[in-house]
Every structure is written in structure tokens, then in C-alpha cells.
């Protein structure tokens, strides 16, 4: 089978044009964890969609994490990985969001978010 063959298989047996959905709790988790796999899938022609759950203002490493900076970093990282569509669902500017109290909302988000979810991406992986 030649590299240009239509029967070429990508990572995990996916073919070019198939779709994958990555659900990341916070920006950079899509890169630190599965980043190599995401880049490989995208390079093989798989549409990779990333749903990042939340970015929040919080104390980190002696300073405060600025959500607008994290959003820009997330966009750049997803572009570098070759992601087809990426979205951060909840932006918490105050740091007060309690996700543990929103479990049903979290399930709904993963199942039906209008930009990146199981319903919209219809992933094979």
C-alpha cells in the first residue's frame, strides 16, 4: 500500500475525513496530554475538535492566571496542532465557578455544545 493510497489508515485506524473529539478540562490539557496524538491525527487528515471546559482567573505560580491570555494561548496551541475546531465553553473571569455543582451542565456540554461536542463533531474517536 503506497503512502498516497486512499486505503491509508491514520492513528487508531481512522481514515482521512474521520472526526475525533478531545475534551480538555482546562487550556493546555489538550496539548500536554494528547498533543502528540492530536497533531498526528490532524496530519493524517482526521478532523480534530477540541472542547475545553473552562478557563478561570486563579492564583497560579505566584501570580494570577489571566483568562484572556489563556484563551490566546489555547488558540495558538490548537492552530499549531492542526485542530479543526476548538472552543472554550466556560470563561470564569472571577474564579468563582464551582464545576462540582454543575455536573449535569457538564454532561450537557460534552453531549450537545453547539460548536464542539458529541452531537456536533459526531466523532469516531
Instruction: Specify the CATH number for the domain of residue 23.
Output: 3.40.50.10320
Whole-number average pLDDT of the chain: 88
In whole angstroms, what is the distance from residue 47 CA to residue 22 CA? 11
Strand partners, 60: 63
pLDDT tier, 44 (very low <50, low <70, confident <90, very high otherwise): very high
In a domain, 75, yes or no: yes
In a domain, 92, yes or no: yes
The pairing of strands 85-92 and 19-24 is unpaired
Q: Residue 85, Cβ neighbours under 10 Å: how many? A: 16
In a domain, 5, yes or no: no
In a domain, 4, yes or no: no
In a domain, 91, yes or no: yes
Percent of the chain with pLDDT over 90: 64
In a domain, 6, yes or no: no
Which of 4-8, 41-45, 78-82, 102-106 shows the lowest per-residue confidence on average (mean pLDDT)? Answer: 4-8
Tell me which residue range forms the domain holding 84: 13-121
In a domain, 3, yes or no: no
Domain count, the chain: 1
Task: Give, as one character, the DSSP assignment of residue 102.
Answer: -
Provide mean pLDDT across the span 39-63: 88
What global pTM score does this model have?
0.86
Q: Nearest-CA neighbor of 88 among 70, 103, 108, 104?
A: 70
Sheet containing 47-56: order of strands: 19-24, 47-56, 85-92
Amino acid at each position: 500500500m503506497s503512502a498516497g493510497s486512499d486505503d491509508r489508515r491514520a492513528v487508531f485506524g481512522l481514515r482521512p475525513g474521520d472526526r475525533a473529539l478531545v475534551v480538555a478540562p482546562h487550556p493546555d490539557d489538550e496539548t500536554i496530554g494528547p498533543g502528540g496524538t492530536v497533531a498526528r491525527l490532524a496530519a493524517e487528515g482526521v478532523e480534530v475538535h477540541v472542547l475545553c471546559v473552562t478557563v478561570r482567573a486563579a492564583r497560579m505560580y505566584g501570580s494570577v492566571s489571566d483568562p484572556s491570555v489563556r484563551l490566546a494561548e489555547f488558540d495558538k496551541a490548537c492552530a499549531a496542532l492542526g485542530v479543526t475546531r476548538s472552543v472554550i465553553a466556560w470563561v470564569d473571569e472571577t474564579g468563582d465557578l464551582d464545576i462540582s455543582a454543575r455536573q449535569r451542565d457538564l454532561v450537557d456540554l460534552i453531549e450537545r455544545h453547539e460548536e464542539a461536542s458529541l452531537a456536533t463533531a459526531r466523532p469516531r474517536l
